[in-house]
Amino acid sequence: MALLIREIAQLVDGELSGDGEQLITSAAALSEAGPGQLAFIGELRNADSSAYTSAGCLIVPKSTRSKFEGATIAVDNPKFAFAKAASALHPRKDLPAGIHPTAEIADSAEISEGVFVGAFCFVGENSVVGSGTHLQAGARVGSGVRIGKDCTIHPGVTIEDGAVIGSRVVLKAGAVIGSKGFGFVRDGELLIKFPQIGTVVIEDDVEIGANSCVDRGALGETRIGAGTKIDNLVQIAHNVQIGKRVVIAALSGVSGSVVIGDDCVVGGQVGFADHTTIESGAVIGAKSAVFPGKQVRKGVWAGIPVIPLPEYKRLNAHIRSLPKLRKEVQNLGELVNRLESLFRGRK
């Protein structure tokens, strides 16, 4: 998709300098951009590097003194503005509406107008697929599923029975939505599966990465709030409640009945034990662990178990000083031994 520079400036609410009638066809990195491409400068200290780009237009921070001779668009947050413009320049590929002859669609399923159903897809009984949605090759939709408008269901995705998917949701390849949760009851040497008969609700504008799993609720629902973005290889267990605009990086695991509030950020490989509560706005550093029943307040946390970041930094500083402390203790021990020898020699 191509846009005039003045159209991009209007889209990102920026201040245009230079020729706004040039056509921009794509976005690119600053060092690689050529004529007809959009690039950006994220920080004022990088302004000098703009003199060496061949981009057709630059998005720059306000008040910057760029050496770039072409058109610029000044904004408060260049990276955000660039991402917004790039989304417009590179929209979702519009696949033609239709059902591939190898797809299997139940007679009672409802496929709305403008839906693309790829090769070897399956849609079960009484399921509804909203207009403009793409079911790419090999996607499987169970019975009684509700999928909203303009969703992108990538190859190999499985949506189990009864799941509810909002509009503009992206499920990447291999994601599994609504599988039975990992819940067992022990009686002596016997383990019995606890009922996993709830559902999953994925709200609007959620993205779930490749090979991630969101389990259905045991008796209630697992819910992912609107605008949340989940990376690849993330496990969301039964009855988890995740708020709006949450970001969870790859390889994290969220145990059953965890509550994560709005606007939280979770680093990679974070582990959440069951029944923990993460308050809105909390940031959890990579490789951290949240122990059972813990309530994490707003702020930045890290460690195993998680503690506030300033405390974590202090502990790390102490740990790094342990070799020096060990040597000092050894020296003190040797000194005590010599003093004891001298004292015994004077008796």
Told to judge if 134 belongs to the known catalytic residues of this protein, a careful annotator would answer no
Given the residues 90, 238, 275, 318, select the one marked as catalytic.
238
262 sits in the region (left: phi over 0; alpha: psi -120 to 50; else beta) called beta
User: Dihedral, CA atoms, 206, 208, 209, 213, nearest 10 degrees?
Assistant: 170
CB atoms within 10 A of CB 50: 22
3-state secondary structure 122-175: EECCCCEECCCCEECCCCEECCCCEECCCCEECCCCEECCCCEECCCCEECCCC
CA end-to-end span of the chain: 96
Give the DSSP H/E element, type plus range, for residue 323.
Answer: helix 322-345
Q: Coil, helix or strand for 138?
A: coil
Positions annotated as catalytic residues are 238
